[in-house]
Amino acid sequence: MLAPRILVLDDEPIIRMSLAAYLEDEGYQVLEAATAEHALQLLDQHDIALAIVDIRLPGIDGAEFIRYACNKDAALKFIIHTGSMEFRLDESLRRLGLRTSDIFCKPVKDLSGLAASIGQRLVYNVQFA
């Protein structure tokens, strides 16, 4: 059985690459995108279980990406990884299944907490899909 595929969407190369490297070490398949537009193309080309999404992006922002992505794949799970301390989930994102516990502020000091959240979201997805 193949490991779940995770998409890391972040316009900051160092953050994107370090998250990808960590997740690969955890056994996941990882795709990377610097823009929401590229990430949407990857969703058309690959089966992705979960996306880690930065909110502040050039072009389409992360919240709008999540809305578009849900239209493409309603089963896709999300974790928000943002440098914005003020970011709060709006009602439209809550309706898509995001919770406050799915928001991680940059920089994440202990990536094991992020990995645990990913594992919980993916286990939930497998058990109830």
Which DSSP string corresponds to the chain?
-PPPEEEEE-S-HHHHHHHHHHHHHTT-EEEEESSHHHHHHHHHHS--SEEEE-S--SSS-HHHHHHHHHHH-TT-EEEEEES-TT----HHHHHTT--GGGEEESSPS-HHHHHHHHHHHHHHHHHH-
Considering the segment(s) 5-128 as one domain, its CATH architecture is 3-Layer(aba) Sandwich (3.40)
Query: For residue 107, what pLDDT band results from cuts at 50, 70 and 90?
Result: confident
For the stretch 51-79, pLDDT in tens is 999 999 999 999 999 999 999 998 999 99
What does the pLDDT average to over 93-122?
A: 88
Q: What residue ranges do the domains of the chain occupy?
A: 5-128
